[in-house]
Amino acid sequence: MKESTFWLETVTEWHPSSHALPARVDVAIVGGGYTGLCAARELAQRGARVALCEARAIGWGASSRNGGMVLTGLKSSASSLVKQLGLETTRDLFCLSLDALNYVEQVIRSEDIACDFRRCGHVELAYKRSHVAGLEKEAELLQTKFRHPVRLVDKARLSEEIGSPLYHAGLVDEASAGVNPAQYVIGLAQAAERAGAGLFEGVRVTEISKSSDGSFALTTSQGKLRAEHVLIATNGYTDRLAPWLQRRIIPVGSYIIATEPLPAEVAARLSPKRRMMFDTKHFLYYFRLSADNRLIFGGRAGFMPETPSTVRESAEILRRGMLEVYPELRGVRIDYAWGGTLGFTFDLLPHAGQTPEGFHYALGCGGHGVAMLSYLGACVARRIGGETVDNPLFALPFPTAPAGLYRGKPWFLPLVGLYYRILDLIN
């Protein structure tokens, strides 16, 4: 088993052509994942001078390591969001998620990015019989209040969706899509560069200060850079560079294993419609097939950000989870295991806006960031460019923990993990 990201094996190595940082740009972007790259492309298309600084390699963060599920909705179900935010705001946010998906599709088509993007739909699977009622309620809300077509599949017909006896029902949403995440992020980088953005790898931004003329002075590992605007696009990898954001974003590890390629008839049995699949547990499993028929099986095996030892431990936990879903895969080789860090927020919502020091940002989303953060990167870019952008997220307050209890080290994650494990046991 290789402890590396399977998706990266499917892309030809690519690096941006920019080398020396310019002295001054209109917009400096920190972070080279979907958020930063979509923003860079939009800004450069509008004629802005852009420098995107990525500490490692383009796409090094969650954007090359995720499950490639381009999903409708947000991390929290619409039913729980209605309790948190009311019906109107939830409807607005759900519509925003559909806009985000359309945006991703439109960028991929217009830039001709070969990344296996397919509107294959997703199915959310009830892990316990008691979870079926929650899916029924969600289906009714989406159908009647949001006029969004979803379908509940009962246990008797679930074999049309999944070759596993484990689950009790499934909520199917045909609008969701799947993508090869690494091919998508490299395709975005190439598109941003074609549009005229400067992309710089191996450039860590270590400090940003505001000058008396209102511009920003960035100190980086490769020298100084001055910019009229700054966008922080570091999501789960946000550090002390932006303390206001660091107090609001919680880095959480998520892990994935990939099997060897499966025979076509086995793949067709496991996932007859090749959908994106995830279940209703807090410690959820999420899984799908790759283009070459590997089962890509992920989960929140632990909550702490990834390290080599958590990847190894998680791979074994995930292998057992995979066999719980698909006992017939006993004996199938696991070829790859990897982890990545995603960004959670205290209200589980995505957030976009401007910090008190004037940095623009877009982050959060948990495991729902492929579509939403691509789109939010673009929305923030348009806003920097002076356009009026109608986005309900710009109006939402961005909470942190009370009384300075959180400064960026997620000391409480083991407790949260334990709490969710107990909930998974009893609910």
Ligand X SMILES: Cc1cc2nc3c(=O)[nH]c(=O)nc-3n(C[C@H](O)[C@H](O)[C@H](O)COP(=O)(O)OP(=O)(O)OC[C@H]3O[C@@H](n4cnc5c(N)ncnc54)[C@H](O)[C@@H]3O)c2cc1C
Which positions lie near ligand X, rule CB under 6 A?
30-36, 53-56, 60-63, 65-69, 71, 204-205, 233-237, 239, 241, 254, 256, 298, 340-342, 363, 365, 367-370, 373
Amino acid at 414: P
- Residue 145 DSSP code: I
Nearer to ligand X, 60 or 326 (CB): 60
Least distance to ligand X, CB of residue 133, Å = 26
Q: Distance between CA atoms of 12 and 332, rounded to whole angstroms? A: 27
3-state secondary structure of 171: strand
Nearer Cβ to ligand X, position 75 or 91? 75
Nearer to ligand X, 139 or 376 (CB): 376
Cβ atoms of 118 and 105 within 8 Å: the answer is no
Smallest distance from ligand X to CB 275, Å: 12
Strand order in 285-289's β-sheet? 151-154, 169-173, 122-125, 276-279, 285-289, 295-299, 249-259, 334-345
One-letter amino acid at 114 equals A
C-beta closer to ligand X: residue 100 or 132? 100
Cβ at position 199, least distance to ligand X in Å: 11
Closest distance between ligand X and the C-beta of residue 251, in Å? Answer: 10
Cβ closer to ligand X: 71 or 262? 71
Shortest separation between residue 30's beta carbon and ligand X, angstroms: 5
∠ CA 225-227-229 to the nearest 5 degrees? 140
| Structural element, H or E, at residue 81 | helix 78-85
C-alpha distances (whole Å) from 379 to each of 54, 231, 365, 393, 413 are: 20, 12, 15, 10, 31
In the bound complex, what is the minimum distance in angstroms from residue 333's beta carbon to ligand X? Answer: 21
Find the residue with minimal CB distance to ligand X. Answer: 369
Nearer to ligand X, 32 or 170 (CB): 32
CA-based nearest residue to 198, from 327, 343, 304, 53: 53
- Of 31 and 353, which has the nearer Cβ to ligand X? 31
Closest approach of ligand X to the CB of residue 83, in Å: 23
Radius of gyration of the chain (CA): 21
